[in-house]
Amino acid sequence: MIIMGKIIIEKSIYSFEDIRLGNWSESDPYFHQALSFCQSWLCGKEEFEMSTSGSTGEPKNIQVKRKQMEVSAAGTGDFFGLDKGSKLLCCLNIWMVAGKMMLVRALEWDAEVTVVKPIENPLLETDDNFDFVAMVPMQVAACLDHPITRPRIRQIKNLIIGGAPSSSLLIEKILEQGISAFQTYGMTETVSHIALAKISAGDLIYKVLPGVKIGTDKEKRLWIKAPMAGEKKLQTNDLVELLDEDSFKWQGRADFTINSGGIKLQPELMEPKIIPIIQSLFGHQEFFLFGKPDERLGQKLVLVIQQKEKDVKKEQDLLLALKENFNRYHLPKEILYVDELVKTASGKINRPESYKIAK
């Protein structure tokens, strides 16, 4: 069998055979790690250690079998019709499962993959056209906002977005630019995504990959049984609306649910509706809703905004605008500010830690 695949790092091009034989030298620790992982894969390593993000419990290191990663890569390849000779861009953190799986897809598809560091705007590092790219929402937004990379991201044939949900504003920009993009659903334990939702107007509807079985528990939290998860049943903390045996709407995290005086509030469903109001007053500042302990209500709804200084006038205007658009149960009882939001390794807002330093 002729192996055509190759890895491009800056100005160096390595064939898969070069990598398998160790005929490469990269002094940069990040690129060295990427090639070392690829060498281990090409030499037949059967198990790999991954750090979880905490979707099914506390973050931890787990062992993932090669077969799980092969099944995941095959499912994605079949979905998008990608195979030998496809051009991929790996711009996600290769220390995490999402980055590693981009390398595995290239290796399994005998494809060409360009590897860049996981910076905010990775398309500034390459002007090539790609068949398949995975990014986090922050990267997509940065590419769309930059005049040089806006046309480049439009040229990507298949873009998948994961790590965190895309905001309604980002979805609007994606649709305006006519980009073929999919929101992913998955976690380390499922070895990347097990479902994809085509980004379109209206609610995102996730369709599972072949062989994946889903259901919900009595609290409407999603459970998954999939070959890429080793066939074991995984119980998540994600609240979903199950549409049929193959599709669902994501509602948010059960552990973020706020119980305020017996009224259950789901921040991740409420936040997209607040975005236009926040942006009209504070610009493109990040924010989140959180439950603050309260003697009378149990928890009270608070809004935490990334902003160095409190602006009394803007705060008053914000509260007035929220009152005009939401019922009293969905109104924040307090607004807090934080200089810099704390993020997880995968780029998500760490809500509990960010709340701790808010004032």
- CATH of region 257-356, choose from 3.30.300.30, 3.90.660.10, 3.40.50.150, 3.40.50.300: 3.30.300.30
Give the confidence band of 34 by pLDDT, cuts at 50, 70, 90. very high
pLDDT of residue 59: 57
Tell me: pLDDT of 17 over 90.
yes
Average pLDDT for 295-316: 87
Q: Residue 67: which residues within 8 A CB-CB, separation 6 or more? A: none
Mind listing the pLDDT tens digit for each residue in 239-268? 999 999 999 999 888 888 888 887 888 888
Q: Residue 154: which residues within 8 A CB-CB, separation 6 or more? A: 177, 178, 179
Average pLDDT for 274-293: 88
Taking alpha carbons only, the member of 71, 340, 27, 104 closest to residue 190 is 71
Tell me: pLDDT of 140 over 70.
yes
Residue 21 to residue 343: CA distance in whole angstroms: 38
| Least confident span in 18-27, 92-101, 157-166, 325-334 | 325-334
pLDDT of residue 52: 62
Answer whether CATH 3.90.850.10 is correct for domain 6-207.
Answer: no
User: Which residue did the predictor score with more confidence, 49 or 173?
Assistant: 173
Residue 207 to residue 209: CA distance in whole angstroms: 7
Residue 107 to residue 79: CA distance in whole angstroms: 17
User: Which residue did the predictor score with more confidence, 246 or 4?
Assistant: 246
- In a 3-state reduction of DSSP, which class is residue 283? coil
Mind listing the pLDDT tens digit for each residue in 215-231? 999 989 999 999 888 87
Tell me: pLDDT of 58 over 80.
no
Give the confidence band of 345 by pLDDT, cuts at 50, 70, 90. low
Residue 351 to residue 304: CA distance in whole angstroms: 9
Give the confidence band of 35 by pLDDT, cuts at 50, 70, 90. very high
- pTM for this predicted structure: 0.81
Q: What does the domain layout of the chain look like in residue ranges?
A: 6-207, 257-356
Tell me: pLDDT of 40 over 90.
yes
pLDDT of residue 183: 96
Mind listing the pLDDT tens digit for each residue in 127-136? 999 999 999 9
Tokens 């701790």 locate to 356
Topology alike, domains 6-207 and 257-356: no
pLDDT of residue 164: 80
Q: Residue 267: which residues within 8 A CB-CB, separation 6 or more? A: 252, 256, 257, 258, 288, 289, 290
Tell me: pLDDT of 105 over 60.
yes
| pLDDT averaged over every residue in the chain | 89
